[in-house]
Chain A
C-alpha cells in the first residue's frame, strides 16, 4: 500500500495526519483562504498600482510595472518618470494607443490629490474603502500591509524556529551542565522587558524590516526551545538512539537523523501559532509607532489612524476586520495542525496497556469523555 501526499510518497503516519488535517474542514478551508490571499498579495503590484500594467503606444508595448519610462517616451515634455495618473499624460497615450490598468489604480503610497472631500475621505467608487488621513487608498494599503505582515511573520517564525530548534536540540541532547547553564540563561533572557528594549533600540537605530526582524528574533526563539528540548530529552534514552551510539554514529548525525524528526512534530504544531504571534507583534509595534519606518503600509499603522480619526470609522473597521480575519485564519490552521498531530485523536490500534483506561476505570468514569487538548 502506497501513501502519497501531493504525489510525494510518505510514511503512513504522515499520511494519516494529512488525512486528519484535511478532515478538519475549518482548518482546511482556512488554509486555502490563506494561501489564496497570500498568493494574491504577493502579486499586489498587479492588483493595486498607480501605473498601468500594459501600455500600447505608437505601435509598441510598454510594461510600466516592470520598468520606468520617462515622460518623453509618450510625447511628454519632462525627462522624469511618467506619472500615468496625470490626465495630460493619459490623454497623450490615449491618442496613439491605450492603457490596461490594474483593478485598483493606487499603490500603497499613491496620494489621491483629486479628493472631493477632505482626507480621510469615506469609501467611494474611486477609493473603495476610502482614504486615510494623507489621502492614500485604504484598500491598496491593506493589500500591501497584509503582504508585509505575513512575510514578516513568516520570516520571523522561520528564523526563530531554526534558532529555537537548534538551541533546544543541543540542550536536550547533551543535558547536564550544558542544559543547566542554557536554561538559566534563558530564564534571565526571557525576563528582559522586550517592548522597552525595542523602543530604546528604535531610537538608536533606524527601524527597518530586517533590523526589526533581528530584534524580535532575539527573544522569539525561546518559544520553541521548551518543546524541542523535552523531545530530545525523551529521545535520548530511546533504544534506537542508543543503538546508533553503539554503532559509533557521531552526535550531530544522531541529532539530525534520529532525534530531529521526532522533535519536528512538536515544533510544527507550534509554527502557525508563532506566525499568528509574530503578525500581532508587528501590528502592535506599528500601532505604537515603533515598528516599520513611517509611511510603510502596515495593518498597525492603519489601526492607529483609525484610533486617531474616530470620525472616519471605515479606517478602524477595515483594520480591525483585516487583522481579525488574518489571525483567525492562521489560528484555525494551527488548530487543525495541532489536532492532526495529536496522537489521541487517531488511535491506530486498541491500546491495552492500562494507562488512562485503567485510571478511568478505577474512577468509575466512562473512557470516551476525554478532555479537550490544551494549546
Chain B
C-alpha cells in the first residue's frame, strides 16, 4: 500500500451556539493515498460535509472548534497552521468542488476570469500564460468549444458545464487532493454519469487523491475504492468498498444499504372513474424583444401533453430538469395559464378563473419537493395544516377543526402535539409529512406530488413512499407523481410518461417501459440510473 497523502486522525468538530454546543464530528479518522478514491457517505446531518470543510479549515471559526484532531498533508500538520500556510494549501495542494454549480461561480465574471484568477493569484502567472493554461484546463475537463466559451458567463452554461468549470478551477494548481462535496447531486442522472466519469479519468491521468462526499450509495459503489460511512458525526464503518457493500458489519450500514424505495403500484380497480384528463396541454412562455416588447418567440415548456388519471391510480411523470414536468403539474392544477383541454371529474376547467377554481381546490392538492421551503417558517404546524380548512369552511367550530388537524397529523405519522411547534424544529422527512398532511386534510381526490422525495435521505424516501401508498390505498387517491428518480417512480406508479423538452417521449405501463424501453432517450435515462458497473 502506498504512503497516504492526507491523513486525518481523531478529528472532532464542535459548534458553539449560544446556550449549547453541537458535536458535529466526533473522532473521525481516515487517510487517502495518491490515486485513491475515498468516499465519505452518510445522510444529511451526519457531519460528512463538515469533515470535508475542516480539512481546509473553512468552517465559521471561532464558532466552530476542533477539540481534538490532526490533519496531515504529506506529514505536515495543517491543524492550527498559520493562515498563510493554509492560504497556500487551499486551492493549491488541496482543492474543493462544491455541490451547487449555480452559486459556486461568480455570475458577474467570465469563465476565463474565474479560472485565470486562481492561476494568477497562486502562481503569479501573466495574463497570457494564464489564458493558455485556462484553455488547457477547460479542454481537460471536456468543455466543448473552449475558445468560444472563454468569454461566457456562468448563466450561459448548463449545470453540467458549470460543474466542469468548477472542476477546472479546482485542478488549476495541480492539487494532490481533490475534495468533491456532493459534486453531482444537483445534476441530472445522465450528466451525473458524465461528471463522475470525468473525475475518475482526471484522477487516473493526474494521479490525485480524491475524497468524494456523497449520500448516494450508487455513486460510491461505482467510483470509490475505500468508503467511510458516517452517522451522527461518527464514522461507524470504514473499509474497502467491495467489502463494505457485500458484508456490512454495522447495523447502520446495513440499514442504509437496505433502504431503497420498494414495492409497486397498487392494483387499479378496473372500472375506477377518470379523475383528471388533459388533452394537448401547452404552456408557452413568450420571449419578448425590442423596444415595444413584441413577442418574437416562445419557450415551449410544455408542448402538447395528454394524460389521464383515474381514481386510485398513480401516473408517474419522469424527465430531467428542464423537461417541463413541474410546469405540467402546475398547469394541471390551473396554477399556471395553459392551453388545451383539462377536465376534472368530467368538468372542463381549462377556462376557469381564480374564483371559479376555489371550490375545486379542495379536491386537487399539491405536495412540493423542498420540505424546507414549502412550510411557512413563521406559522405553527397546526396553523399550516389547518389553513385550508378555513378557506373551504370545513369544520364548524374551532374544536372541530382542531380534531381534524389532529387526525390529519396522526394519519401521516406525526405526533399531534407537534401542532403547537414551528417547522424548523422538524427534520426534512417530518416536514414532508407535514406538507402531505396539509394536502390530505382537505380529503382531495387528486394530488400532484412534485418530487416529494428528492430532497430526502434514502431511508426517509422509502418511508415517505410507503406513507403515500398507504394513503392512496385508504382514500382511493389519484396521484400525478413527478420525479426524476426512476427508482421511486417504479415503486409508486402504474403508468408513466417520459418527458423531454416539453414533449412526451414515451408513455405506457410501468412494467412495460422499465423492461423494454423503446426510445433512445428513455434507454439512456435508464442506463444512467440503473447502471452498476464501475467507471
Nearest Cβ on chain A to B180's Cβ, whole angstroms: 11
Contacts of B58 in A (CB 8 A): 357, 361, 367
Inter-chain CA distance A250–B388, complex, in Å, is: 11
Contacts of A243 in B (CB 8 A): 366, 368, 374, 435, 438
Taking a contact as CB atoms under 8 Å apart, the answer to whether B374 and A363 are in contact is no
Interface centre among B95, B359, B366 (most CB of A within 10 A): B366
Inter-chain CA distance A12–B92, complex, in Å, is: 41
In B31-80, the 8 Å CB interface with A consists of 49-50, 52-53, 56, 58-61, 63-64
Inter-chain CA distance A357–B358, complex, in Å, is: 45
Contact of B181 among A238, A250, A354 (CB under 8 A): A354
Taking a contact as CB atoms under 8 Å apart, the answer to whether A368 and B15 are in contact is no
Contact of B366 among A238, A242, A348 (CB under 8 A): A242
In A335-372, the 8 Å CB interface with B consists of 347-355, 357-359, 361-368
Contact of B392 among A19, A240, A248, A353 (CB under 8 A): A248
Q: Does B353 contact A (CB under 8 A)?
A: no
> Given A355-B103, A358-B98, are A240 and B181 neighbors across the interface (CB < 8 Å)?
no
Taking a contact as CB atoms under 8 Å apart, the answer to whether A361 and B370 are in contact is no
> Given A243-B435, A248-B357, A353-B99, are A362 and B118 neighbors across the interface (CB < 8 Å)?
yes
Taking a contact as CB atoms under 8 Å apart, the answer to whether A19 and B90 are in contact is no
Taking a contact as CB atoms under 8 Å apart, the answer to whether B376 and A240 are in contact is yes
Taking a contact as CB atoms under 8 Å apart, the answer to whether B378 and A238 are in contact is no
Contact of B373 among A239, A244, A249 (CB under 8 A): A239
Taking a contact as CB atoms under 8 Å apart, the answer to whether B98 and A19 are in contact is no
> Given A238-B373, A347-B63, A350-B24, are A245 and B438 neighbors across the interface (CB < 8 Å)?
no
Chain B residue with Cβ nearest A16 = B18
Q: Does A257 contact B (CB under 8 A)?
A: yes
Q: Does B117 contact A (CB under 8 A)?
A: yes
Contacts of A5 in B (CB 8 A): none
Taking a contact as CB atoms under 8 Å apart, the answer to whether B335 and A350 are in contact is no
In A267-291, the 8 Å CB interface with B consists of none
Q: Is the interface of B mostly helix, strand, loop or mixed?
A: mixed
> Given A243-B438, A246-B333, are A364 and B181 neighbors across the interface (CB < 8 Å)?
no
In A180-221, the 8 Å CB interface with B consists of none
Interface centre among A262, A359, A364 (most CB of B within 10 A): A364
Chain B residue with Cβ nearest A240 = B376
Q: Does B361 contact A (CB under 8 A)?
A: yes
Taking a contact as CB atoms under 8 Å apart, the answer to whether B61 and A368 are in contact is yes
Nearest Cβ on chain B to A333's Cβ, whole angstroms: 22
Interface centre among A244, A257, A350 (most CB of B within 10 A): A350
> Given A244-B387, A364-B118, are A353 and B50 neighbors across the interface (CB < 8 Å)?
no
Nearest Cβ on chain B to A354's Cβ, whole angstroms: 3
Contacts of B379 in A (CB 8 A): 257-258
Taking a contact as CB atoms under 8 Å apart, the answer to whether B60 and A347 are in contact is yes
Contact of A354 among B18, B100, B365, B392 (CB under 8 A): B100
> Given A247-B388, A355-B104, A366-B86, are A240 and B53 neighbors across the interface (CB < 8 Å)?
no
> Given A16-B18, A239-B370, A368-B61, are A363 and B117 neighbors across the interface (CB < 8 Å)?
yes
Inter-chain CA distance A257–B387, complex, in Å, is: 10
Chain B residue with Cβ nearest A238 = B373
Taking a contact as CB atoms under 8 Å apart, the answer to whether B374 and A357 are in contact is no
Taking a contact as CB atoms under 8 Å apart, the answer to whether A248 and B388 are in contact is yes
Contacts of B361 in A (CB 8 A): 246-248
Contacts of B17 in A (CB 8 A): 348
Contacts of A246 in B (CB 8 A): 333, 335, 361, 364-366
Contacts of B100 in A (CB 8 A): 353-355
Taking a contact as CB atoms under 8 Å apart, the answer to whether A361 and B391 are in contact is no
Nearest Cβ on chain B to A223's Cβ, whole angstroms: 24
Chain B residue with Cβ nearest A346 = B18
Contacts of A353 in B (CB 8 A): 98-100, 103
In B88-128, the 8 Å CB interface with A consists of 90-92, 95-96, 98-100, 103-104, 106, 114, 117-118, 121-122
Contact of B50 among A11, A249, A352, A355 (CB under 8 A): A352
Q: Does A261 contact B (CB under 8 A)?
A: yes
Contact of B64 among A249, A262, A350, A359 (CB under 8 A): A350
Q: Does A13 contact B (CB under 8 A)?
A: yes
Q: Does B362 contact A (CB under 8 A)?
A: yes
Taking a contact as CB atoms under 8 Å apart, the answer to whether B18 and A19 are in contact is yes
Contacts of A249 in B (CB 8 A): 387-388, 391
Inter-chain CA distance A250–B361, complex, in Å, is: 12
> Given A249-B387, A353-B103, are A364 and B392 neighbors across the interface (CB < 8 Å)?
no
Contact of A368 among B60, B166, B366 (CB under 8 A): B60
Inter-chain CA distance A368–B86, complex, in Å, is: 13
Inter-chain CA distance A13–B425, complex, in Å, is: 11
Taking a contact as CB atoms under 8 Å apart, the answer to whether A261 and B358 are in contact is no
Taking a contact as CB atoms under 8 Å apart, the answer to whether A247 and B103 are in contact is no
Contacts of A238 in B (CB 8 A): 373-374
Contacts of A364 in B (CB 8 A): 87, 90-92, 118, 121-122
Contact of B391 among A247, A262, A367 (CB under 8 A): A247
Taking a contact as CB atoms under 8 Å apart, the answer to whether A363 and B118 are in contact is yes
Contacts of B86 in A (CB 8 A): 366
Inter-chain CA distance A273–B392, complex, in Å, is: 43
Contacts of B104 in A (CB 8 A): 354-355, 358-359, 362
Contacts of B63 in A (CB 8 A): 347
Nearest Cβ on chain B to A268's Cβ, whole angstroms: 14
In A312-354, the 8 Å CB interface with B consists of 347-354
Chain A residue with Cβ nearest B101 = A354
Taking a contact as CB atoms under 8 Å apart, the answer to whether A352 and B169 are in contact is no
Taking a contact as CB atoms under 8 Å apart, the answer to whether A240 and B375 are in contact is yes
Q: Does B422 contact A (CB under 8 A)?
A: yes
Nearest Cβ on chain B to A2's Cβ, whole angstroms: 11
Interface centre among A12, A242, A243 (most CB of B within 10 A): A243
> Given A13-B377, A350-B59, A368-B60, are A359 and B106 neighbors across the interface (CB < 8 Å)?
yes
Contacts of B520 in A (CB 8 A): none
Nearest Cβ on chain A to B240's Cβ, whole angstroms: 27
Inter-chain CA distance A246–B364, complex, in Å, is: 8
Q: Does B145 contact A (CB under 8 A)?
A: no
Contact with A along B427-438 (1 / 0, CB 8 A): 000000001001
Inter-chain CA distance A257–B388, complex, in Å, is: 13
Interface centre among A257, A258, A363 (most CB of B within 10 A): A363
Inter-chain CA distance A357–B57, complex, in Å, is: 11
Q: Does B534 contact A (CB under 8 A)?
A: no
Contacts of B83 in A (CB 8 A): 366
Interface centre among B92, B333, B374 (most CB of A within 10 A): B374
Contacts of A12 in B (CB 8 A): 422, 424
Taking a contact as CB atoms under 8 Å apart, the answer to whether A11 and B378 are in contact is yes
Inter-chain CA distance A346–B6, complex, in Å, is: 32
Contacts of A351 in B (CB 8 A): 60
Taking a contact as CB atoms under 8 Å apart, the answer to whether A358 and B96 are in contact is yes
> Given A353-B103, A362-B169, A364-B90, are A248 and B362 neighbors across the interface (CB < 8 Å)?
yes
Inter-chain CA distance A258–B377, complex, in Å, is: 9
Contact of A361 among B96, B333, B359, B424 (CB under 8 A): B96
In B384-430, the 8 Å CB interface with A consists of 384, 387-388, 391-392, 422, 424
Nearest Cβ on chain A to B393's Cβ, whole angstroms: 11
Inter-chain CA distance A348–B435, complex, in Å, is: 24
Nearest Cβ on chain B to A375's Cβ, whole angstroms: 22
A-B contact pairs, 16 of them (CB 8 A): A11-B377, A239-B368, A243-B435, A246-B333, A248-B358, A249-B388, A350-B49, A350-B50, A350-B60, A354-B100, A354-B103, A357-B53, A362-B114, A363-B117, A364-B87, A364-B121
**Across the A-B interface, the 10 shortest Cβ-Cβ residue pairs:** A354-B98, A248-B361, A352-B49, A239-B374, A358-B104, A239-B368, A354-B104, A247-B388, A239-B373, A248-B358
Q: A248-B358, A362-B114, A364-B121 are in contact. List 12 more A-B contacts (CB 8 A).
A: A12-B424, A238-B373, A239-B368, A247-B361, A247-B391, A248-B359, A249-B387, A347-B63, A351-B60, A358-B166, A361-B91, A366-B87
